[in-house]
Amino acid sequence: MTMAAALRRSTAAIATILVLALPAGAQEIADSHLKAARAAVSALGSTAEFDDILPQVAQSLKTEMINRNPNMVQVISQTVDQKALELASRRGDLEKEAATIYAKVFNEQELNEIAAFYSGAAGKKLLQDGNIAFREVTQAAAIWQRGIARDLAQQVGEELNKTQPQAAPAAQPPAPAAQPNANQ
């Protein structure tokens, strides 16, 4: 999963949780606030990952129906495609719902700032390449963690050696007994 997708999912999840926690009276949203939310959702591409839902559902339905009725392939395909196209207009419902959720979580000024940032070059770059930076930071953190663990173990070991009395050196193994020389 890319960082952008993770950001979108976590933001949507947080937004949903916060919306459910809001009292019923706090649900009224001004038009300008909703407009700012739509701009932020658009700039973030928050719903882009859901673009494939209708085509996937349509393909799955075609496959299922054709498996049950193999003699109706053409009719099933045409009918499913036609009905899917008719339902495509409902994609706007998801955009509206997403905007409403964002509007309930963020105030209008925050949404305008989010939209401005993510519509700009830096925000677009972050959405596009942020996952690369995140992956490299994760790798750097793993290297750093190993170094910290090594250094901590070494320093603690050195400190413990200073505080404990030195153990007597281990006894040396006895020297092998001299073998009598057969030539003597």
Task: Report how far residue 46's alpha carbon sits from residue 115's, in angstroms, rounded to the nearest whole number.
Answer: 12
Alpha helix (H) ranges present in 69-163? 73-87, 91-105, 108-119, 121-163
Token representation of residue 81: 């495609």
Q: How far apart are CA 156 and CA 119, in angstroms?
A: 51
Check whether 163 has a pLDDT greater than 90: no
User: Backbone dihedral region of 73: left (phi > 0), alpha (psi from -120 to 50 degrees) or beta?
Assistant: alpha
Does residue 162 lie within any of the structural domains?
no
Residue with tokens 């916060």: 18
Q: Give per-residue pLDDT as tens, 116-138.
A: 999 999 999 999 999 999 999 99
86 domain-assigned: no
Is residue 45 in a domain?
yes
| Structural domain contains residue 18 | yes
Per-residue pLDDT reduced to its tens digit, 39-71: 999 999 999 989 999 999 999 999 999 999 999
């495509």: which residue's tokens?
88
Q: Is the pLDDT of residue 166 over 50?
A: yes
Alpha carbon distance 40, 92 (integer Å) = 15
In a domain, 135, yes or no: yes
Using alpha carbons, select from 1, 36, 38, 7 the residue that is nearest to residue 123: 7
Structural domain including 26 reads 3-51+91-146
- The pLDDT of residue 18: 54
pLDDT at residue 94 greater than cutoff 70: yes
In tens, the pLDDT along 98-107 reads: 999 999 999 9
